Structure 1
Amino acid sequence: MNQQAKRIKELFGYARTLTKEQGIGTMCVRAAGFFKRRFFGKRARYWPSNMALEAQRSDPAAETFPIISILTPLYNTPQNFLTEFLDSVENQTAHNWQLCLADASDDAHTYVGELVQKHVAANPRIRYVKIENKGIAANTNAAARLAQGEYLALADHDDILAPHAIYCMGKELQKTGADFAYSDEALFRKSPKTAHVAHFKPDYAPEYLMACNYICHLAVFRKSLFDAIGGERPECDGAQDHDLFLRLIDAMQAKDANAAPLHIPQVLYYWRVHAASTSGGTEAKPYVVKAAQKAVADHLAATGRSGRVEEGIFPGTCHVQWELPEPEPLVSILIPNKDHVDDLEKCLFSLYSKTLYEAFEVIVIENNSTDPATKAYYEKLPDRYANCRVVAYSGGFNFSRINNFGRKFANGKFLLLLNNDIEIISGNWLTQMVAEASQPGVAACGAMLYYPDDTIQHAGIITGLGGYAGHSHKYHKRGGSGYMFRLATVQDYSACTAACLLVRTSAYDAVGGLDEAFTVAFNDVDFCLRLREKGWRIVWTPYAELYHHESKSRGSDEEDPAKKARFAKEQARLYEVHGKQNILHDPYYNPNLSLDYEDFRESGDLRNLKNVTL
């Protein structure tokens, strides 16, 4: 018997037993729940409730929202796609929109203009112009010349706007006065109500945006800002929106260094997946890759930074090889150690034999070792490894205090906090980390850490996971792209593990080092959050790869009552210092993703999408 037949037999057996024990009514209720979950559980899961949509339609405040002009170039659009797109705009719950259509269709597709003209005749908010096809950027600019709204939005001719897109955008723009806002999006094949996946994005993440255009749809921005930078650039066709977003942000930050796009965590746009669309991947349009690299390179030039833009780990992503400062800044590597000389030797041997970056010193912080062999090992270290010395810490175990003690002996412009059970994999790991941590506004850089079985131990820390903090993509197999390329691109994170953390010495000192009240747990989370409170950013790079020989299943803290109590105390302190709500709402993690798992799966509770508040 195959597995499916066996499963069906088991289900009918369960139904008979349930009917016999609890009655036909209970069985029917359970059966209805099963079929709803099995066949309809994902249907319209991002779509607002009818009650929410009706409330928006009757909201008088919507009459005061700013006008948003939607820019849509048309080119030989399939009639059914165009009809669905036009209907999605005209059926918006708010009327503060204008639709600007620039039609570059050829003579074989005259139905496009004919269909649009019927809608124009019935709806004065739709404006239309027939143009010569000069490419997506030029055609978008032609649509922009029709616009009369305070804000502009970009929408493709084969996609669909969520029914509350203009309402939600208008409301937030009115409330915040933002110059630029973007939402989440979902991908569909036949109907938006059967969308198969959503792109739940972080708040503004500058490193991530240089690596790939995660903003995409729906993006809305001031017309005056669009006009000031000259609109979209034809030379970046294929990545014209990515280029536009970078230039919009550059213009915003030229006036206010802290300016950033506003993220609205609602699915306001449905991106159709078909053969000619980039929603299915950049393989559909190979020129997108080169255009994106140009967009990022021009962004670097405009902001006065020096780097070479290369293709990233996966197609459709970019990687900036930053120019290192000259001379190379000294890195002081702090390695706490108590006995375990085998681990320490593996760490040091890989460090010295594989690391291509030369300007480093190593400070082993001796922490109350008891094995006589450890002392003998220490005595030989300076002769075996250049610029390596041992300093002796005394006192009870306190990870924060040990590292703060080691810092007193460090001479480097950067400090590298490194566990003694780390093993180097890639020779350019430290080069990559120093390059990232040297960038303006960046205080610290974390690395990709693998367990020895080539599953991920650390790829950045997300606060709120498990109620406190967890590691991005933990246990994910090595070599994957992760959620929306987040395993394969340089990322902004709220924190990174101190098992391998490079930090500017000046930033370390400015916040007083690690908080010694966090003796074991959360000291790195607290440290990074305090850096961020000072205005610094924390980045993580997949281009620095190391093994972390930490056990996958230690469990000792939960089994030992004293350790369990200490851990609970440090959990409480994390909330006390940073606020529970701040911990539970990580700006680099979407609120529609689960806090119970580390794999970026969707939350089981998407009520915020169903019940859109007024």
Structure 2
Amino acid sequence: MKKKIIEKSYRIVRYYRENGLIRFCRHVIAKIFHMEEMSYNRWRRKHRLNKEEIIEQRNKEFEYQPLISILVPLYCTPLEYLQELVRSIQNQTYQNWELCLSDGSGVGKLSHDYLDKCINADSRIKLVTSDKPLSISENTNRALKIASGAYIAFADHDDLLEINTLYECVKVLNDYPEVEIIYTDEDKVSMNGKSYFQPHFKSDYNLDLLRSMNYICHFFMVKKEIQQNVGLLREEYNGAQDYDFILRCIEKSQHIFHIPKILYHWRAHQDSTAENPESKLYAFEAGKRAIDAHLKRCKENASVEMGGYLGLYRVKYWMEKEPKVTILIPNKDHIEDLKRCIQSLYEVSDYKNFEIIIIENGSKEEDTFDYYKKISNKYTEIKIVEWSGENGFNYSALNNYGVRFAKGDYILFLNNDTEIINADSIREMVSHIMRADVGAVGARLYYPDGSIQHAGVILGLGGIAGHAFREFSNNANGYFSRIICTQDYSAVTAACMMMSKSLFNKIGGFDEQLKVAFNDIDLCMKIRKLGKWIVYTPYAELYHYESKSRGLENTKEKVERFNSEIEYFSKKWKKELEAGDPYYNPNLTLEKHDFSLKIL
């Protein structure tokens, strides 16, 4: 009892430190009044199938009706849980399945009376047994060896499938026959099967996030040919055997589909944080080794280490050399901001192979030009270029002009009111941008008070696009730890964004029709059209001294300009905006920055 009290106290203190006073108080209130559970329960009632929909699905005859083999390793499984799992499979609205059970409990550990009845009553249920206890990998592999389906799916012995899980998967296969892997959203179900909580509304396929954590998890279904190509589950990764298997599968797949619906229920204690993660350290170590093996197979010059918390990982990509980086900084007066920015580049950053191009844009103060002269004399790699284009501010035109003078292979677009926090920020960004499949890299930015200003950009958030997790505490994890994980996003802010000069020129640079707003989003959209990823790394950290109230369009001219840029961007990317952000789940709100449920 005393140990549980200490553990609970530790969790409370940790939550407070990670989320700050305001979010801590909201969390306490939500817990007392069960607000989060009530909100999710309303969502479940809204999205669960009604009787008419169930009948319609049961009567649906797909053109393609593949046999799906569901593999379930059993190990001293409580009878009640096993019965509920089997019922959840037998109740599926799509019925062309087989259930492949492997009992690795050992002789006499699990009664087969119930299973024998099931097998006699339903020929689709298969069972293989062992005289000795089996590891999780070997147990699952035995189930796999009796599977004959065109697709292989996985379930734990005490979990539940939603009634339409298989139907939704087969619907995808009929709509998109090329799909080789399918995964779904999931939640947790209480031990008594009555309460559903902690829904995980996932990103579409996100390689960098998968290298940071096993976000795919359940429900996972793979084409038999892919499974045969990668082989069986591997004993050496027990505890993270599913993570290793998923990584091997995605390496061989070209078409991976995410269904943004809660179709799998993972049984867990509602107070599951009471579990001691250190007791499963072997599993987290196995996960680290699985990622390391994956990186080697992909011929990535990289290594992996534990992330901020157990179950999270950080991949470090190594460079054989330091390529030259051109840092572009538009500036108009505000010398104190610029001084701080330049000072951090020389005194904080440990990356030295760079040049700085300051794009002078109509400064008026004498001190500004005195400072330009001083730093130009002190640092040979600093160059001042004067923009003499149109009157007024045009961020796109300024940077397009600045790139003409760049000698570096890579460009770092950097606002003059930023300040590098950690020494390896530029190195971290360079290590990602040198990857062949990456088009742009963004950083984690903070307001002066330490709260988050930028941790990736979400299309549609607040209208056109918005920053994820804005104003969260600087030590917050965010929704399923997404603040502190390297991952792919649709866009990142050009307040600190790196890309190759050749790619920048290839896509025509910034769109000068977008003078102030959305020009960086537009640039990222053009990059993604070429099939390249936009990577957000939380390990490059900077202050961005932009005021939280900055950007208010408080004059008629600004309002007209802002509205015209919204209209222009909306027309240009109409299809993409209507489709929604692939890295943000459609069940989450676009009205707030916290990844909370969409209000029904």
Shared fold per TM-score greater than 0.5: yes
Q: Is the 8 A contact 1:462 1:470 kept in 2?
A: yes
* 1:565 partner amino acid: E
Task: Give the equivalent residue in structure 1 for 2:456.
Answer: 460
Task: Give the equivalent residue in structure 1 for 2:363.
Answer: 369
1:42-121 paired onto structure 2 within 5 Å = 44=45, 46-61=47-62, 64-107=64-107, 109-111=109-111, 113-121=112-120
SS in 1 for 2:363: coil
Question: Between Structure 1 and Structure 2, how many residues are aligned?
Answer: 561
Corresponding residue to 1:296 among 291, 294, 301: 291
Task: Give the equivalent residue in structure 1 for 2:585.
Answer: 590
Corresponding residue to 1:321 among 304, 316, 324: 316
Task: Give the equivalent residue in structure 2 for 1:195.
Answer: 196
Structure 1 residue 229, shift from structure 2 partner: 1.4
Task: Give the equivalent residue in structure 2 for 1:513.
Answer: 509
1:345-364 paired onto structure 2 within 5 Å = 345-364=339-358
Q: In 2, Cα distance between the equivalents of 1:308 and 1:494?
A: 25
CA gap of 1:348–1:175, structure 2 versus 1, over 3 A, is same
CA gap of 1:237–1:145, structure 2 versus 1, over 3 A, is same
State the Cα deviation string for residues 331-375 of structure 1 (Å, max 9, x = none).
000000000001000111111100011111111111000111111
Task: Give the equivalent residue in structure 2 for 1:232.
Answer: 233
Q: Is the 8 A contact 2:98 2:125 kept in 1?
A: yes
Q: In 1, Cα distance between the equivalents of 2:441 and 2:275?
A: 32
SS in 1 for 2:399: helix
1:530 aligns with 2:526: yes
CA gap of 1:246–1:140, structure 2 versus 1, over 3 A, is same
Corresponding residue to 1:477 among 473, 487, 503: 473
Task: Give the equivalent residue in structure 2 for 1:179.
Answer: 180
Structure 1 residue 193, shift from structure 2 partner: 5.9
Further displaced range: 126-135 or 435-444: 126-135
Task: Give the equivalent residue in structure 2 for 1:139.
Answer: 139
CA gap of 1:416–1:388, structure 2 versus 1, over 3 A, is same
* 2:101 partner amino acid: L
Task: Give the equivalent residue in structure 1 for 2:265.
Answer: 270
Task: Give the equivalent residue in structure 2 for 1:25.
Answer: none
State the Cα deviation string for residues 70-115 of structure 1 (Å, max 9, x = none).
000000011211111111111111111110000011345332x222
Task: Give the equivalent residue in structure 1 for 2:150.
Answer: 150
Q: Is the 8 A contact 1:465 1:584 kept in 2?
A: no
Task: Give the equivalent residue in structure 1 for 2:552.
Answer: 556
Structure 1 residue 54, shift from structure 2 partner: 2.2
Q: Is the 8 A contact 1:464 1:584 kept in 2?
A: no
Structure 1 residue 242, shift from structure 2 partner: 1.2
Corresponding residue to 1:389 among 377, 383, 388: 383
Q: Is the 8 A contact 1:463 1:584 kept in 2?
A: no
* 1:373 partner amino acid: D
SS in 2 for 1:299: helix
Structure 1 residue 321, shift from structure 2 partner: 1.2
Structure 1 residue 384, shift from structure 2 partner: 3.2
Task: Give the equivalent residue in structure 1 for 2:436.
Answer: 440
In structure 2, the gaps of 5 or more residues are 1-34
SS in 1 for 2:184: strand
CA gap of 1:304–1:583, structure 2 versus 1, over 3 A, is same
Q: In 2, Cα distance between the equivalents of 1:544 and 1:590?
A: 25
Structure 1 residue 582, shift from structure 2 partner: 3.2
State the Cα deviation string for residues 4-52 of structure 1 (Å, max 9, x = none).
xxxxxxxxxxxxxxxxxxxxxxxxxxxxxx9x97896366455333332
* 1:92 partner amino acid: Q
Structure 1 residue 555, shift from structure 2 partner: 5.3
CA gap of 1:240–1:40, structure 2 versus 1, over 3 A, is closer
Q: In 1, Cα distance between the equivalents of 2:360 and 2:118?
A: 77
* 1:421 partner amino acid: D
Task: Give the equivalent residue in structure 1 for 2:564.
Answer: 569
Q: Is the 8 A contact 2:41 2:196 kept in 1?
A: no
Structure 1 residue 139, shift from structure 2 partner: 1.0
Corresponding residue to 1:449 among 440, 445, 456: 445
CA gap of 1:521–1:238, structure 2 versus 1, over 3 A, is same
TM normalised by structure 1 equals: 0.88
Report the RMSD for the aligned CA atoms in angstroms: 2.2
Q: Is the 8 A contact 1:67 1:170 kept in 2?
A: no
CA gap of 1:135–1:79, structure 2 versus 1, over 3 A, is same
Q: In 2, Cα distance between the equivalents of 1:521 and 1:332?
A: 23
Q: In 2, Cα distance between the equivalents of 1:576 and 1:339?
A: 35
